[in-house]
């Protein structure tokens, strides 16, 4: 099995990044990470519009022909920035921002990442083979990959804040069909991965999703996939409030964390705050009690059948429906007059 931290990477891609020889491209929307009520919250840093907004959790990008990219990047506004969204605060200064990979569950199957070939309607499923990996470059220069199905795969520090709590880093995102060689040739299409951000002294963020297309993916497939993920954003990856230790299982270990944190000065989710009210008390115990037994196995995930069961009528269909209703109304009126 491949080690999560690896330095294996395409020599060509590495040379391009080191030498700064990537083709010029228009600005884009990075992943914005700020603090709101002592919790990490994600949003969009749109450099085209000069807008920094919160509450976005689905981000998309395009791989080069070598199956890597440095976009989207990671952005956090420092204290005193006039662009800070309302209610947001800067991240702690000189502190590392970490990530984990979360499993995605579709049609009862938990998998490290999901794949769609881009043809027809959006239909994410398993990888073409079990050897596929999605990797993110850490702040340490190593690459960390998705792990086994149904498990959290630990990443590393993705960036470190500056003196004012700001970040603007572009780490490498990479997909491969690892077979023990440096060469990689993944199938064209759309790749979907779930990421959880965490940072000391702050509650971890809700899962975010990267929707990444290869250079040979069908036109429009990435946008369709991003819209589909946005519609299912709360169903694709588990986010249990009473999972205090973050292992995707609400159990006795989490109760022990609550007992240790009860009434203490540290009132974060990791210390037993399931209600995110900056207090570890009886309400959090009730939340643990209600959530006890939750796991990746009990997590329902997305049903693609249910997700596509109620299609939106096309305009022509709507007009036909209105016409049919009009004909029926005329027939009823004539019957009533007879």
DSSP string for 2-25: --SEE----HHHHHHHHHT-PPP-
pLDDT at 148: 84
pLDDT at 156: 97
- Please name which of 174, 172, 140 lies closest in space to residue 157, comparing C-alpha atoms: 140
What 3-state DSSP class applies to 207? coil
Query: What is the overall mean pLDDT for the chain?
Result: 85
pLDDT at 262: 96
pLDDT band for position 302 (cuts 50, 70, 90) = very high
pLDDT tens for each residue of 23-35: 333 446 899 999 9
Per the structure block, which two tokens stand in for 133? 């990996």
The answer to whether residue 331 scores a pLDDT higher than 70 is: no
The answer to whether residue 4 scores a pLDDT higher than 80 is: no
pLDDT at 10: 40
pLDDT tens for each residue of 98-123: 999 999 999 999 999 999 999 999 99
Distance CA 244, CA 191 (A): 29
Q: What is the mean pLDDT of residues 186-210?
A: 97
pLDDT band for position 185 (cuts 50, 70, 90) = confident
> In angstroms, what is the C-alpha Rg of the chain?
23
Which range has highest mean pLDDT (6-20, 172-186, 265-279, 321-335)? Answer: 265-279
How big is the chain, counted in residues? Answer: 338
The answer to whether residue 227 scores a pLDDT higher than 50 is: yes
Which alpha helices (H) appear in 88-245, and where do they start and end? 221-231
E strand or H helix at 247: none
Q: What is the mean pLDDT of residues 172-200?
A: 88
The answer to whether residue 277 scores a pLDDT higher than 90 is: yes
The answer to whether residue 221 scores a pLDDT higher than 50 is: yes
- Please name which of 84, 87, 89, 71 lies closest in space to residue 24, comparing C-alpha atoms: 71
Give 4 or 266, the one with higher predicted confidence.
266
Q: Percentage of the chain with pLDDT > 70?
A: 80
pLDDT tens for each residue of 255-272: 999 999 999 988 999 999
pLDDT at 37: 94
pLDDT tens for each residue of 22-74: 333 344 689 999 999 999 999 999 988 999 999 999 999 999 999 999 999 99
Give 147 or 253, the one with higher predicted confidence.
253
Q: Percentage of the chain with pLDDT > 90?
A: 75
To 10 degrees, what angle do helices 252-261 and 282-291 make? 180
What are residue 166's phi and psi, to 5 degrees? -90, 160
pLDDT at 280: 97
The answer to whether residue 170 scores a pLDDT higher than 70 is: yes
Which alpha helices (H) appear in the chain, and where do they start and end? 11-19, 221-231, 252-261, 282-291, 304-307, 315-337
pLDDT at 23: 34
pLDDT band for position 90 (cuts 50, 70, 90) = very high
């Amino acid at each position: 099995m491949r080690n999560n931290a690896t330095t294996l990477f395409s020599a060509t891609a590495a040379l391009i990044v080191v030498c700064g020889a990537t083709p010029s491209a228009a600005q884009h929307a990075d992943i914005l990470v700020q603090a709101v009520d002592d919790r990490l919250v994600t949003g969009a840093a749109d450099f085209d519009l000069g807008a920094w907004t919160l509450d976005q959790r689905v981000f998309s990008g395009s791989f080069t022909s070598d199956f890597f990219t440095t976009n989207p990047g990671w952005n956090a506004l420092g204290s005193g920035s006039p662009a800070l969204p309302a209610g947001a605060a800067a991240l702690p200064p000189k502190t590392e921002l970490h990530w984990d990979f979360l499993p995605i569950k579709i049609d009862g199957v938990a998998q490290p990442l999901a794949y769609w070939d881009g043809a027809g309607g959006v239909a994410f499923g398993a990888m073409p083979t079990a050897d596929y990996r999605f990797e993110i470059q850490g702040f340490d220069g190593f690459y960390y990959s998705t792990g086994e199905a149904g498990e959290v795969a630990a990443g590393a520090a993705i960036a470190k804040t500056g003196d004012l709590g700001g970040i603007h880093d572009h780490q490498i995102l990479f997909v491969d069909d690892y077979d023990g060689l440096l060469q990689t040739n993944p199938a064209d299409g759309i790749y979907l991965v779930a990421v959880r951000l965490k940072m000391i002294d702050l509650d971890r963020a809700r899962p975010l999703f990267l929707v990444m297309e290869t250079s040979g993916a069908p036109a429009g497939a990435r946008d369709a996939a991003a819209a589909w993920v946005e519609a299912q954003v709360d169903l694709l990856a588990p986010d249990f409030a009473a999972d205090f230790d973050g292992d995707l299982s609400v159990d006795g270990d989490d109760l022990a964390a609550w007992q240790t944190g009860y009434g203490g000065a540290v009132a974060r989710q990791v210390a037993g705050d399931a209600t995110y009210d900056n207090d570890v008390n009886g309400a959090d115990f009730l939340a643990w009690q209600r959530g006890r037994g939750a796991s990746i196995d009990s997590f329902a995930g997305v049903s693609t059948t249910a997700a596509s069961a109620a299609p939106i009528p096309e305009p022509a269909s709507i007009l036909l429906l209105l016409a049919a209703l009009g004909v029926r109304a005329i027939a009823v009126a004539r019957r009533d007059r007879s």
